[in-house]
A and B are shown apart, each in its own frame.
Chain A
Amino acid sequence: MKCDLVVVGAGPAGSMTAKVAAEAGLNVVMLEKRQEIGDPVRCAEGVSKAALRELVEPDPVWVSAEVKGARIRAPDGTEIVISEDRAGAEVGYVLERKVFDRALALDAAEAGAKVMVKTRALGLLEEGGVLTGVSAQFVGESLKIEAPLVIGADGVESKVGRWAGIDTALKPKDIETCAQFLLLDEGIDDEYCEFYLGNEIAPGGYVWSFPKGQSIANVGIGVLGSKANSGTPVMLLREFVKKRFPEGKILEMMVGGVPVSGPIETTTADGIILVGDAARQSDPITGGGIINAMRAGVLAGDIAAELVPKGEVDKTSLQVYEKRWRETIGKSIARNFAVKEFFVDLTDDDLNRLTHSLDGIDIAQLDLRGLLKVLVRQNPKLLLKLRHLIV
C-alpha cells in the first residue's frame, strides 16, 4: 500500500493530523492498533470550552456535561473557586471520549483519510537509509505501508519516536501514574470540577472529580511516578473514595500514565513527526492533553500538506514543526513544567498557607497564570523561585 502520509494512532492528535492533511489533498492512511477507537479511556475527559470550539464544533453526542468552574481544595479543606471561563484548559466540558475520539476519526475519514483499525505499526521501513514507511500488522497479517512521512500519534506508550532514534522514555518524575473510577454518588457536585491537593491524598499530583451529569463523575488520581510505588494510585484512590464517597458505586475503572516532562528535546527525525502524548505535549500542571494534542495535530497536518508534495521531509525541513509548536503550545508547557517542578515538593503546610494567602482576594475571574501571579505577590518568600516565570 502506498500513500503520502501514515498516521500511527487514532486519538485526538492523530485524527486532527489526518483530517487536516487529507483536507489539503494528501492521500492519508491512519492506523489504530485497537479494534475500537477511543476505548479504553485513559483520561479525566475535561477540556476548555473556548479552546475546543476553536478546533471542532461541539456536539452534544460527545459532551457529557458542562461545568460552571473549578474548586481547588487544600489539604486542610480550604477551598478556592474559579469560574469556568478562566480555569484554563481542562475545565468547561467533560467529554465522552469513547464517542469523541471516534467522531474525530470520522471527520478524518470524511475528509478522505483511510482509517485502519486493529492495525498495529511494527517498525519503520527504510531504503538506502531513507525512511519509506511503516511495517504493520492488519488483523494479524503483515502489511507494508509506504509513505515519505510518518506521524507518531501513538500516545504515552509511543514507539514511533524510539524507532527513529528519539529518546522519549519518561523518567519517573516526568510521568503521573493515574487511576480513575466512573463513580455514582449523591455527593457528586454536578456543577464543578473538583481538585483535591495534599501529599497524603496524592503525592506530587492531585485527586479530581469531573462530573458527567446525574451524580456520576470521573473520580481519579494522579501520583508523580517518583513518589509512587507499585499500585499506589489505585490504593490511594480507593482510600479517598472510601472517605469522601463511602456509598459510591464504581461503574468503570480506568488507569493510565500522563507525561509531565515538559517539552522534550526533539519531536522530529528524518521523515518523522511526533504529536500529542507521543511528543510529551500534555500540560505538566493539569495533565490535560486533548487541546495541545489537537493543536499539534493541526500544525503537523498543515506542515505535512505543505512539505510532502515538495519532497522535503528530512529533519531539517521539519524544523518548521518544532518551531511552530514550541512558539505556541510549547510556551505554556515549558512554563507549567517549571511550576510543577516547584509545586511537587511543597509540603501540606505550604499548600495550606498558599491557599489561605488568597483569603479576601477576588480570584474567581483569574486564569492559572493570573492565579500564580497573585500567589507570588502574596507569598514572595515561599514562591521566590517562581518569580521569573510570571512576567
Chain B
Amino acid sequence: MLLVNRYKCGYCGACVGVCPAAALELVETWIEVNDDCISCGRCTKICPLGALELTKEAQA
C-alpha cells in the first residue's frame, strides 16, 4: 500500500504527473490516493522530499 507522509509532503504534484494509473491527485495541500493504485513505486522514487512510501506487504 502507498503511504503519504503529509508532514513531509511539499504538495508539488510530481507524483501525480508520473502515476501510470492516474491513482493520485493533488488537492490543495495534500495528496489523495484512490483504489486504482497498482503499487508500482514510481511516485516514491521521484518524490523530491521522499514523502511517499510503499509498505512491504504490497510489494510482495
B42 CB within 8 Å of chain A: yes
Cβ contacts A226-241/B at 8 Å (1 or 0 each)? 0011111110000000
Q: Using CB atoms and an 8 Å cutoff, list the residues of chain A in contact with chain B.
A: 33-35, 40, 42, 118, 120, 155-159, 162, 168-172, 175, 177-179, 225, 228-234, 253-257, 259
Set of chain A residues within 8 Å of B20, measured between Cβ atoms:
169
Contact A33 B27 (CB under 8 A): yes
Contact B46 A177 (CB under 8 A): yes
Cβ contacts B1-30/A at 8 Å (1 or 0 each)? 000000000111111111110101111100
Contact A175 B18 (CB under 8 A): yes
Closest to A162 in B: B22
A114 to B36, CA, bound (A): 34
Contact A230 B50 (CB under 8 A): yes
A34 to B5, CA, bound (A): 21
Closest to A224 in B: B46
A33 to B16, CA, bound (A): 15
Given A157-B14, A255-B14, A255-B48, 16 new contacts (CB under 8 A): A35-B28, A156-B14, A157-B26, A169-B19, A169-B22, A170-B18, A175-B18, A178-B14, A229-B45, A230-B47, A230-B50, A233-B48, A253-B10, A255-B12, A257-B14, A259-B17
Set of chain A residues within 8 Å of B49, measured between Cβ atoms:
179, 231, 233-234, 255
Shortest distance from the beta carbon of B16 to any chain A beta carbon, whole Å: 4
Closest to B25 in A: A159
A259 to B12, CA, bound (A): 13
With A34-B28, A162-B22, A169-B20 as known contacts, state yes or no: A231 contacts B13, CB within 8 Å: no
With A172-B45, A177-B46 as known contacts, state yes or no: A156 contacts B27, CB within 8 Å: no
A303 to B51, CA, bound (A): 41
Set of chain B residues within 8 Å of A34, measured between Cβ atoms:
28
With A229-B45, A230-B50, A230-B52 as known contacts, state yes or no: A177 contacts B25, CB within 8 Å: no
Contact B18 A169 (CB under 8 A): yes
Contact A231 B25 (CB under 8 A): no
Set of chain B residues within 8 Å of A42, measured between Cβ atoms:
12-13
With A34-B28, A157-B26 as known contacts, state yes or no: A177 contacts B48, CB within 8 Å: yes
Contact B45 A228 (CB under 8 A): yes
Shortest distance from the beta carbon of A178 to any chain B beta carbon, whole Å: 6
A35 to B44, CA, bound (A): 27
A120 to B29, CA, bound (A): 13
A34 to B28, CA, bound (A): 5
Shortest distance from the beta carbon of A120 to any chain B beta carbon, whole Å: 7
Contact B44 A230 (CB under 8 A): yes
A256 to B27, CA, bound (A): 15
- Give 14 A-B contacts (CB < 8 Å), ordered by A residue: A35-B28, A40-B11, A156-B13, A157-B13, A169-B19, A169-B22, A170-B17, A172-B18, A179-B48, A228-B45, A230-B50, A230-B52, A234-B48, A255-B10
A175 to B45, CA, bound (A): 12
Contact A156 B46 (CB under 8 A): no
Set of chain B residues within 8 Å of A162, measured between Cβ atoms:
22
Set of chain B residues within 8 Å of A254, measured between Cβ atoms:
10, 12
Set of chain A residues within 8 Å of B28, measured between Cβ atoms:
33-35, 118, 120
Set of chain A residues within 8 Å of B17, measured between Cβ atoms:
156-158, 168-170, 175, 257, 259
